[in-house]
Amino acid sequence: MENTRQLVRGAGLWGSDLMVFDSLPSTNAWALEHAGELKHGDVVRAIRQSTGRGRFDRTWVSPGKCCLTLSAVLKSGAQDTSGDALLLPVAAIALRNALKEFGLTAMLKWPNDVLVAGKKIAGILAESVTANSMLVLGIGLNVNITAPALSGMTFEQPPTSMAVERARLFDVDLVCRRLLIDLEKAIEFTQQNGPASVAARWKENDCLIGRTIAVKGQQDTVTGRYDGMQADGQLALVDAAGKRRLFWSGDVTVMLNGEC
Ligand code: BTN
């Protein structure tokens, strides 16, 4: 169900617009459905999102007004973000930087997880429309969701929120503004410094360094020693036979040397 929409001109990325809906099933779904009407840099935010989606057809739960759920529109040609594969890490770096402003130290887990104290605080989902050469970068950040509310939910990995980690509530509008500033900066930094700069910045807070991991791809699961995120965004691991393997996508589980 779609309802009231507030248009905040100039509050999106690079002076584009921010649309704030009271409620949407999914900001990514709405942006993809309205691809033709949206401009590069427009941001679609929902105060309540009822059926948010995550990677691998998972659902993204963000009840009530607790959380930040938004989708940023990036139109190719107008914007070179050095390839779609790098957008997830670039957005994760922006989230890490924004969280730092609010006193939280985040770690990054390839390809799209932002963790605080080993628990997932944010997720990113990039989806594209080829006909409109548009990429929708969906971001979900747990801002004020409480520990009891989190404990009643089932996730593929333990969740947390800014409020749980800092024992205080946050102004979600302020968090949104900060995140959009950091997202803009992170994309511009990548354009100016090239794709290799993403891997370098990722490494500063890469929670998989030194770990033995399992990467579950579409065909099979491969176990090995994590060997870093590459300049093109791929994950590298060295398997039991000493062979270096590269992955564009997959689900990562830490097998040895502790959790993230
Ligand atoms: C994941 O961790 O699997 C990705 C979660 C992405 C959730 C965000 S919330 C805003 C945007 N709209 C959606 O339906 N999903 C993304």
- What confidence score (pLDDT) does residue 157 get? 79
- What confidence score (pLDDT) does residue 61 get? 82
Atom of ligand 1 nearest to the CA of 112: 2
CA distances from 7 to 4, 14, 44, 86, 118 (A): 10, 16, 10, 29, 36
Atom of ligand 1 nearest to the CA of 113: 2
Ligand 1 proximal residues by C-beta, below 6 Å: 26-28, 52-55, 58, 60, 69-71, 112, 123-125, 138-140
* CA separation for the pair 219, 75 (Å, rounded): 31
Atom of ligand 1 nearest to the CA of 29: 14
- What confidence score (pLDDT) does residue 218 get? 80
pTM equals 0.93
- What confidence score (pLDDT) does residue 95 get? 98
Low-confidence residues of the chain, pLDDT below 50?
78-82
Q: Residue 89, preceding bond cis, omega within 30 degrees?
A: no
* CA separation for the pair 168, 164 (Å, rounded): 7
- What confidence score (pLDDT) does residue 98 get? 98
- What confidence score (pLDDT) does residue 257 get? 62
Ligand 1, pocket-test mutation among 60, 139, 249, 251, most atoms within 8 A of CB: 60
- What confidence score (pLDDT) does residue 63 get? 80
- What confidence score (pLDDT) does residue 25 get? 95
Atom of ligand 1 nearest to the CA of 53: 14
Report CA(124)–ligand 1 centroid distance (Å): 5
* CA separation for the pair 23, 1 (Å, rounded): 7
* CA separation for the pair 121, 103 (Å, rounded): 14
